[in-house]
Structure 1
């Protein structure tokens, strides 16, 4: 079983209807799909790989040996315990956003310039993907994007963040999680994953399925807020990252999320569409995130039940 691969360029040709249908099926049945021919140049993607890997080697790798995950694993080994490290991930990670640009890594040549260009292109792709979802759901073009923006004030705009992660080799991969199983809190996630070192898996029909590495593909998955807006028609699915004894997995995940002030609820026309309509509460995304921070690795249903309705 393999994650569906969609040729995004076919939306502009005679196969548009077929491609729209394929993407709709991916959102409903998988919650994940891979895009090829997505419009982001291979030259830019190669530069992103280069600066991300160099940044990790020069600026981030030396500090990983002092991370919580490494310390907890060493404690287990010293005690000769049969247990696992359950409350930390074998992940070296930092966030890039418009709000923290002064804190971006600065000792890797061309890192800032390359990642800014990449983020600009990826944000455009995110909006295109959401417009496809609008069309498939029978919504006005731009509906999801507008729902993610709380108003015209730029301080209430949708959030676009990029998480740069590496999963270094681990001498005892049976004792750690690369990234614990979870669903994503936000909207649309666009992942530029390693094309050589695997490890990402999704839960499909109670079976963990590998997200196969494809060179220069962008992996798309739908988060919890897309599930709510679609009234459960589109799925936010469980996924995780495994580590191994070899290879250093690179993962660059970008999140197009609602503003914290955005009110999220099933879209008009979809709220009663299903025969057994989902009972998602109407809530502010910021309130949902307050619950999510504490319950990230727990089932999403209790999160929806715990969030304060408005």
Structure 2
């Protein structure tokens, strides 16, 4: 987001290179990466029934014959889960395939090539890591490339790789093809709770979007490291695409971690903190994390949808059904400044805005 340009993250070692050393005969993991909590909490890998993540079919949402029924499912997913799998989303297979290919190719390049796009001290854009603010905090087992993709005039092309040669074109096509997808979801989310579609569309249409591409190297001692610390997303809505067939996303549900297994080509969608507040808690952002595979690399691409930057975040009148406002108001820029100047810590930031705690 543009408001995050004035903040940055401390430089840390390249984890992809570190993994090659740690996976060697020595298998020594630096202390800053050792995370006891990675293996100390219960994880459910094979879930079904009430513990199965909802699947939303966009084609059914758009069909007059099935829209109402699918809307009910969408409301339940946003209210009780904060996550859902989105199928039949309409983004062309070729666009997704090109994106996947170029992300894999980018992270496969020599370190010196990737370092040409290293983050600057006052920016989150570029190649490196996020949310590192002290020299002694625990670090995630991941490398990332973060780019502002919309609006197009906000793009800082210093951080946009020229190798592979088709990279910029693939990102641009992906940004264009997904442009209407989130807006469609915002529209149906509002309809699902009896609010006017404009209540959300006016806040998110033509607003900033950012793409975070993450590379999680394998680690033979995977139970000692964490790919991405537990957190909830700050914006309105996130669309996550698994780049390869290695899964590592886990979400917290009823105090337990659930592994998310997405069908091939499906998006994993989740509510952000901003939308939880705007909806007065009708929709909920959910704590999630990424874990590491002991033998295989994992790659993902998260597309973040942010609201207009000059708003004050507070529950929208259309979502205050019983007259009870559940969250304090805060300027969006102040909220995001808090997000990007602290390390990831579950849902602590949005929780501090709740009233009647």
TM-score range, shorter chain: 0.7 to 0.9
| Structure 1: 5+ residue stretches without partners | 70-84, 150-156
1:217 aligns with 2:266: yes
CA RMSD of aligned residues (A): 2.6
For residue 189 of structure 2, the aligned residue among 133, 145, 149 is 133
1:92 aligns with 2:143: yes
1:227 Cα deviation after fit:
0.5
Matches of 1:177 and 1:61, distance apart in 2: 25
Matches of 2:294 and 2:253, distance apart in 1: 26
For residue 335 of structure 2, the aligned residue among 284, 288, 310 is 288
Matched residue, 1:233? 282
Q: Is the 8 A contact 1:92 1:166 kept in 2?
A: yes
For residue 270 of structure 1, the aligned residue among 299, 319, 335 is 319
Matches of 2:112 and 2:182, distance apart in 1: 30
User: 292-301 or 250-259, which moves further after superposition?
Assistant: 292-301
Matches of 1:94 and 1:6, distance apart in 2: 29
1:279 aligns with 2:329: no
After superposition, what is the alpha-carbon deviation per residue over 1:266-302, rounded to whole angstroms, capped at 9, x for unaligned?
111322537xx45311221111012222445235355
1:109 Cα deviation after fit:
2.1
1:68 Cα deviation after fit:
9.2
Q: Give SS of 1:251's match.
A: strand
Give the number of equivalent residue pairs: 282
Seen in structure 2, the aligned counterparts of structure 1 residues 127 and 237 have a Cα distance that, compared at 3 Å, is same
Matched residue, 1:36? 87
After superposition, what is the alpha-carbon deviation per residue over 1:209-261, rounded to whole angstroms, capped at 9, x for unaligned?
11103211011100001101110111100000000211211110000112332
Q: Is the 8 A contact 1:291 1:306 kept in 2?
A: no
Matched residue, 2:29? none
Seen in structure 2, the aligned counterparts of structure 1 residues 247 and 283 have a Cα distance that, compared at 3 Å, is same
Answer 1 or 2: higher relative contact order, Cα 8 Å, separation at least 6. 2
Q: Is the 8 A contact 1:147 1:263 kept in 2?
A: no
After superposition, what is the alpha-carbon deviation per residue over 1:24-49, rounded to whole angstroms, capped at 9, x for unaligned?
11000110001111010112111111
Matched residue, 1:8? 58
1:101 Cα deviation after fit:
4.2
Seen in structure 2, the aligned counterparts of structure 1 residues 121 and 51 have a Cα distance that, compared at 3 Å, is same
User: 263-272 or 200-209, which moves further after superposition?
Assistant: 263-272
Matches of 2:188 and 2:287, distance apart in 1: 23
| Structure 2: 5+ residue stretches without partners | 1-46, 116-126, 130-135
1:121 aligns with 2:177: yes
Q: Is the 8 A contact 1:86 1:176 kept in 2?
A: no
Matches of 1:86 and 1:160, distance apart in 2: 28
Q: Give SS of 1:20's match.
A: helix
Matched residue, 1:49? 100
Seen in structure 2, the aligned counterparts of structure 1 residues 170 and 15 have a Cα distance that, compared at 3 Å, is same
1:146 aligns with 2:202: yes
For residue 106 of structure 1, the aligned residue among 157, 162, 186 is 162
Matches of 1:280 and 1:63, distance apart in 2: 42
Matches of 1:61 and 1:3, distance apart in 2: 40
User: 98-107 or 282-291, which moves further after superposition?
Assistant: 98-107
Q: Give SS of 1:227's match.
A: helix
Using structure 1 for the length normalisation, give the TM-score.
0.83
Aligned pairs for 1:164-179 (under 5 A) are 164-179=213-228
